[in-house]
Amino acid sequence: MIDFSLSAELQEIQARARKFAQEEIRPIAAEYDRKGEVPPGIVEKAKAAGLLNVTIPKEYGGMGYGALESAIIAEELGAACAGISITILVNGLALTPIQLFGTEEQKDRFLRPVAEGAKLAAFCLTERQAGSDAGAIKTTALPDGDDYVINGQKCFITSGGLAEIMTVFALTDPERGARGVSAIIVPARTPGIRVTKVEDKMGQRASNTVELTFENVRVPQANLLGKPGRGFAIALQTLDFGRSGVAALSVGVARAALEYALAYAKERQQFGAPIINNQGIAFLLADMAMKIEAARLLTWQAAWMADQGLKVTEKSAMAKCFASDTAMEVTTHAVQILGGYGYMRDYPVEKLMRDAKLLQIYEGTNQIQRMVIARELAKASPS
Q: Which is nearer to ligand CAA, 121 or 141 (CB)?
A: 121
Q: Within positions 107 to 146, which residues make up the interface with ligand CAA, using CB under 6 A?
A: 123, 125-126, 132-135
- The DSSP secondary structure of 233-264, one letter per residue, reads HHHHHHHHHHHHHHHHHHHHHHHHHHHHHHHH
Other CB atoms within 10 A of residue 118 CB: 18
- Which amino acid is it at 12? E
Query: Per CB under 6 A, does 179 bind ligand CAA?
Result: yes
Q: Which is nearer to ligand CAA, 211 or 240 (CB)?
A: 240
Query: Per CB under 6 A, does 174 bind ligand CAA?
Result: no
**Residues 345, 30: Cα–Cα separation, whole Å:** 9
Catalytic residue among 24, 69, 314, 363: 363
Task: Check if 164 is active-site.
Answer: no
Query: Per CB under 6 A, does 233 bind ligand CAA?
Result: yes
Query: Per CB under 6 A, does 350 bind ligand CAA?
Result: no
Angle, vertex CA 300, rays to CA 299 and CA 304, nearest 5:
120
**What stretches of 36-185 show up as alpha helix (H) in DSSP?**
42-48, 67-78, 82-101, 104-106, 112-116
CB of 90 to ligand CAA, least distance (A): 5
CB of 71 to ligand CAA, least distance (A): 16
Query: Per CB under 6 A, does 162 bind ligand CAA?
Result: no
CB of 145 to ligand CAA, least distance (A): 28
Q: Within positions 234 to 263, which residues make up the interface with ligand CAA, using CB under 6 A?
A: 236-237, 239-240
Q: Which is nearer to ligand CAA, 20 or 123 (CB)?
A: 123
Q: Which is nearer to ligand CAA, 186 or 258 (CB)?
A: 186
Q: Which is nearer to ligand CAA, 81 or 265 (CB)?
A: 81
**Residue nearest to ligand CAA according to CB distances in the complex:** 364
Q: Is the alpha carbon torsion for 107, 110, 113, 119 positive or negative?
A: negative
Strand extents, DSSP E, the chain: 121-124, 140-144, 147-158, 165-171, 181-187, 193-198, 209-220, 224-225, 269-270, 273-274
Q: Within positions 24 to 83, which residues make up the interface with ligand CAA, using CB under 6 A?
A: none
CB of 85 to ligand CAA, least distance (A): 11
- Residue 175 near residue 115 (C-beta atoms within 8 A): no
Q: Dmax over Cα atoms in the chain, in whole Å?
A: 79
Q: Within positions 258 to 317, which residues make up the interface with ligand CAA, using CB under 6 A?
A: 313
- Which amino acid is it at 189? R
Other CB atoms within 10 A of residue 266 CB: 12
Integer-rounded Cα radius of gyration of the chain: 21
CB of 92 to ligand CAA, least distance (A): 11
Number of residues that bind ligand CAA (CB under 6 A): 25
Q: Within positions 84 to 103, which residues make up the interface with ligand CAA, using CB under 6 A?
A: 86, 90, 93
Phi-psi region of 53 (alpha: psi -120 to 50; beta: other; left: phi over 0): left
Q: Is the alpha carbon torsion for 290, 295, 301, 303 positive or negative?
A: negative
Q: Provide the terminal-to-terminal Cα distance of the chain, rounded to the nearest Å.
A: 33
**Residues 210, 221: Cα–Cα separation, whole Å:** 26
Query: Per CB under 6 A, does 158 bind ligand CAA?
Result: yes
Q: Measuring CA to CA, which residue among 208, 200, 12 is closest to residue 122?
A: 208
Q: Which is nearer to ligand CAA, 280 or 309 (CB)?
A: 309
Q: Within positions 199 to 218, which residues make up the interface with ligand CAA, using CB under 6 A?
A: none
Q: Which is nearer to ligand CAA, 226 or 274 (CB)?
A: 226
- Residues 360-379, mask of contacts with ligand CAA (x by CB under 6 A): --xxx---x---x-------
Taking each helix axis from N to C end, the angle separating 67-78 and 231-267, rounded to the nearest 10 degrees, works out to 40
Which of the ranges 31-39, 100-108, 145-153, 356-364 carries the binding residues for ligand CAA, by CB under 6 A? 356-364
Binding positions for ligand CAA, rule: CB under 6 A: 86, 90, 93, 123, 125-126, 132-135, 158, 178-179, 232-233, 236-237, 239-240, 313, 362-364, 368, 372
Catalytic residue numbers read 363
